[in-house]
Amino acid sequence: MASQPKKVDRRKFIYAGLGAAALIAIGVASYVALNPPIVTQTTTVATTIQTTVPTTSVVTTTSVATTTVPTTTVVTTTVPTTTSISGKISWWVGSWSEEAAKLLVSNFKTIYPQIAVEVVGLPWTGMYDKMLSALQSEAPPDVLDVAVAWNIPFASLDLLLPLDQYAKSLDLSDFYEAALSTAKFKNILYGIPFRTETGGLILNKNILKASGLDPQTPPKTWDDFYEYCKKTTVPGKTYGASLGFGEKMHAVYEYLIFLWGNGGEILDETNKTALFNSSAGVEALEFLVKLYKEGLIPKDAVSKNRDAMFDEYFLQERSAMHHGAVYSVATIRDKNPNLYNNLLIAPACKNKEVKQYVQIGGWNRVIAKRSKNPDAAWKLIEFLSSPQNQAFYTHTFPGRKSALAYPNFYKIDYSDPYIKSFANVLDTGKLTPPVAQWGGIVDELATAIVSALVGDKTPKQALDEAANRVNQLLK
Work out the widest C-alpha separation in the chain, in whole angstroms.
94
End-to-end CA distance of the chain: 73
Min dist. Cβ of residue 95 to another protein (A): 14
Please say which residue, 286 or 413, places its beta carbon nearer to another protein.
Answer: 286
Least Cβ distance, residue 129 to another protein (angstroms)? 6
Q: Which of 295, 146, 193 is nearest to 234 (CA)?
A: 295
Measured from the CB atom, the residue of 380 and 466 that comes closer to another protein is 466
CB 454 within 8 A of CB 303: no
CB of 156 to another protein, least distance (A): 5
Residue whose CB is less far from another protein, 125 or 270: 125
Query: How far is CA 212 from each of CA 209, 295, 348, 375, 440, rounded to the nearest angstrom?
Result: 5, 20, 21, 61, 44
| Closest separation in Å from C-beta 291 to another protein | 15
Of 220 and 318, CB closest to another protein: 318
Give dist(CA 253, CA 401) in Å, integer: 25
Q: Which residue lies nearer to another protein by CB, 414 or 438?
A: 438
Q: Give the C-alpha separation, 426 to 337, whole Å.
A: 26
For another protein, give the closer residue by CB, 119 or 152.
152
Distance CA 219, CA 386 (A): 39
Rounded (10°) angle between helices 248-260 and 279-293: 120
Q: Is 139 exposed, middle or buried (0-12, 13-18, 19+ CB in 10 A)?
A: exposed
**Closest distance between another protein and the C-beta of residue 220, in Å?**
29
CB closer to another protein out of 344 and 436: 436
Task: Report the candidate in 82, 96, 322, 357 with the shortest Cα–Cα distance to residue 219.
Answer: 322
CB of 136 vs another protein, minimal distance in Å: 11
Residues that bind another protein (CB under 8 A): 10, 125, 128-129, 132, 153, 156-158, 236, 245-248, 251, 298-305, 308, 312, 318, 436-437, 439-440, 442-443, 446-448, 450-451, 454-456, 473-474
Q: Output the smallest distance, CB 130 to another protein, in A.
A: 11
In angstroms, the CA 170 to CA 371 distance is 21
Query: Which residues 6+ apart lie within 8 Å of 153 measured at CB?
Result: 436, 438, 439
